[in-house]
Structure 1
Amino acid sequence: MRTYTQQIAKAPLSAQFGLFVICVYVFCALFAPFITPFSETEIIADAYAPADASMWLGADNLGRDMFTRLIYGARNTVGVAFATTVLAFLIGGTIGMLSATVGGWFDQVMSRTVDILMAVPQLIFALLILSVVGTNTVSLIFVIAVLDATRVFRISRATAMNVVTLDFVEAARLRGESKLWIISREILPNISAPLIAEFGLRFCFVFLFISGLSFLGLGIQPPLAEWGGMVRENAVLITFGEYTPLLPAAAVALLTVAVNFVVDWLLHLSSGLKD
């Protein structure tokens, strides 16, 4: 624990700022019911009621507290994006490293399947599948994870291909080690740096993608609070000079910047480069 604390203390200001922002978002996501004055779906005022002492940011299009829904949006948006990214890496990373290790027909089948999936624009593919299977949270996570796993497959396979030909991997094969042992003990530790960077980038892309889908009406569905959906529901206020619809968009942008700051720092640490 002391080692981690020392590393954070020595981190650049950008990384410390990113960690602080991420911690604030995580805190809001975990303790949203305790730090918000109202429930997520409670109607407490007229539509678009102005801010007052009880509603710091005013009301939305249905009379719900904007501040409350902004805090709950951290739980829904960030939570779904994180779960989706983890699932995408479990699927794409595992298959990518396995393809590089096994080779042969398995590698060819997986690579050509990924090529086919990546040939279709991701947004169009997601809109098509979600319109068929529905837009509940589970299907949203699974569909986006499968689509994003193709990108993870590409980078994990490419980096693993550079490792499987090295002497220590050949020595492990000659010792009779299983493919799972080779992947977990020899390949994964040696490709962790690019995967760390890719995880941060994938999280940001998924985060923005989910917000975009919600803005179009096919992401996280009402009455759950989601930042992209909140922008769409209250966009009419912008024509009257109100800034509140921009707050969910600012929350998306701030987290994206913070994650990239932290990913840059983690990539620097894992690469072994000196300051």
Structure 2
Amino acid sequence: MTFIQLGVIKTGARKFSSAPLPAKFGMVVIALYVLAAIFAPQLAPYGEAEIVGTQFEPWSSTFWLGTDNLGRDMFTRLIYGARNTIGIALLTTALAFSIGSTAGLAAATFSGWTDQLLSRAVDVLMSIPQLIFALLLLSIFGTSIPSLIIIIAVLDSTRVFRLTRAVSINAAVSDYVEAARLRGEGPIWIMGREIMPNILPTLTAEFGLRFCFVFLLISGLSFLGVGIQPPTADWGSMVRDTATLIAYGDITPLLPALAIALLAVSVNLIVDWFLHSASGLRD
């Protein structure tokens, strides 16, 4: 192990030990989710789409959480759902931030017609409810995973644009940015070296929040049947597939819903702690 790796581990351990209890809980939960996503093939007793029993079998030593409407093992599907749902949501959020933050920085730096054109285009996209717009576009372009990622990323980038533009405008009129302009620095240099480092904590916190919104939106679309398509395991579609069990007092449909809620809460706990730490406030 190199000194750099050792230093990263020590820094991470210090951060974890200094974090409040809610943030530690969020970190532990997210770490478990990540491990489940990475090692899904090793942890799952069956294949992701393998039919191993009859439909809606009860919990047993063979099927720990029973089976779904097709006879697939629910525990296996729950583990693979972490890989698919979280992975797609993370990729979508990263793409949305790439689009939205770049456009927001450009609007604040160049201002004028660039700002007006980008802002009005974003206003048009935001004037339509996001879920309805997503359903419309997915019905036109199809429900493949690439289409799902691109459509949701473009729609969600409008929120990132608004925040990035707002915080970037405040930074763009600062003395250090004016000094950089007087030195003859170009707009790309100013965006990357002057404005971006000063708005990074805000964008980092927003990334966590936007991930939750994207994650919940994808799960909602899957529940409606236009999100992640079978046989790919997804927590939203798992709730839909086993929803009939609610009428019989079976809590199996609540398990993927609980997994969704627990992840959203954990991310928010970490974001709250990060914002508190970045603000410089002390308890």
Q: Same fold (TM over 0.5)?
A: yes
Deviation of 1:200 after TM superposition, in Å, equals 1.3
| 1-structure distance, mates of 2:38, 2:91 | 15
Who is 1:257 aligned against? Answer: 265
Question: Structure 1: which 4+ aligned runs deviate by more than 6 Å?
Answer: none
| 2-structure distance, mates of 1:128, 1:169 | 42
Q: Counterparts in 2 of 1:97-136, with a 5 A limit?
A: 97-136=105-144
Letter in 1 for 2:141: V
| 2-structure distance, mates of 1:241, 1:191 | 49
| 1-structure distance, mates of 2:171, 2:216 | 32
Partner of 2:282: helix, strand, or coil?
coil
Letter in 2 for 1:243: I
1:87-130 alpha-carbon deviations (Å, 9 max, x no partner): 10010011101110001111100000000000001011100000
Deviation of 1:174 after TM superposition, in Å, equals 1.3
Partner of 2:134: helix, strand, or coil?
helix
Residue 147 (structure 2) aligned to one of 116, 139, 143: 139
Calculate the aligned-residue CA RMSD, in Å: 0.9
Residue 9 (structure 1) aligned to one of 17, 22, 46: 17
Deviation of 1:192 after TM superposition, in Å, equals 1.8
Using the size of structure 1 for normalisation, the TM-score is: 0.98
Residue 94 (structure 1) aligned to one of 80, 99, 102: 102
1:55-103 alpha-carbon deviations (Å, 9 max, x no partner): 1001100000000000000001111111111110010011101110001
Q: Share of identical aligned residues, percent?
A: 61
**Does structure 1 residue 206 correspond to structure 2 residue 214?**
yes
| 2-structure distance, mates of 1:75, 1:173 | 46
Residue 183 (structure 1) aligned to one of 187, 191, 194: 191
| 2-structure distance, mates of 1:4, 1:69 | 32
Deviation of 1:193 after TM superposition, in Å, equals 2.4
- For the 8 Å contact 1:196–1:267, the answer to whether it is kept is no
- For the 8 Å contact 1:192–1:270, the answer to whether it is kept is no
| 1-structure distance, mates of 2:269, 2:204 | 13
Deviation of 1:153 after TM superposition, in Å, equals 0.2
Who is 1:38 aligned against? Answer: 46
Residue 33 (structure 2) aligned to one of 8, 14, 25: 25
Who is 1:74 aligned against? Answer: 82
| 2-structure distance, mates of 1:39, 1:33 | 8
Who is 2:3 aligned against? Answer: none
Who is 1:269 aligned against? Answer: 277
Letter in 1 for 2:229: Q
Aligned length: 275
Deviation of 1:270 after TM superposition, in Å, equals 2.0
| 2-structure distance, mates of 1:176, 1:24 | 49
Where do 5+ consecutive residues of structure 2 fail to align? 1-7
